[in-house]
């Protein structure tokens, strides 16, 4: 309940500048940018793709991590907040939550 329903994944400028960012196969924008997935949508092995013409695609796997501190706080505040947070899945955060694009030039065949 303390951290809201949305997470934030930051994609910095990186190299090369202006890489296209895709999350769950949907175009998000150009780096630098941020992705705001709903915490309940965080699944293991969700992919962020970074693409730019002339460069190999960079794939970053996003996993979810349970925030133990929030679980402990919920238990100390009473069990009801824990059940609420579990029901709306606000106890998870994306890992990694900061991505620096580093695309490699494609080899010309």
Q: What is the pLDDT of residues 46-56, one digit of tens each?
A: 899 999 999 99
Give me the number of domains the chain comprises: 1
**Ramachandran angles phi, psi of 69, nearest 5°:** -60, -40
Within a domain: 15: yes
Within a domain: 72: yes
**Backbone Cα Rg of the chain:** 17
**Three-state DSSP class for 66?**
strand
pLDDT for 109 equals 63
Torsion-angle region of 53 (φ positive above 0: left; ψ -120 to 50: alpha; else: beta) = beta
Within a domain: 28: yes
Contact 66/34 with Cβ under 8 angstroms?
no
Within a domain: 108: no
In this predicted structure, the answer to whether residue 79 has a pLDDT above a threshold of 80 is: no
Within a domain: 102: no
Domain extent, residue 49, equals: 9-97
């Amino acid at each position: 309940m303390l951290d809201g329903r949305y997470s934030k994944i930051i994609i910095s400028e990186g190299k090369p500048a202006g890489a296209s960012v895709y999350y769950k196969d949907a175009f998000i924008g150009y780096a630098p940018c941020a992705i705001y997935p709903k915490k309940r949508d965080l699944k293991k092995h969700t992919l962020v793709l970074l693409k730019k013409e002339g460069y190999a695609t960079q794939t970053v796997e996003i996993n979810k991590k349970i925030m133990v501190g929030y679980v402990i706080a919920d238990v100390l505040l009473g069990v009801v907040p824990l059940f609420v947070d579990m029901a709306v899945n606000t106890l998870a955060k994306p890992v990694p939550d900061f991505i620096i694009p580093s695309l490699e030039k494609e080899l010309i065949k």
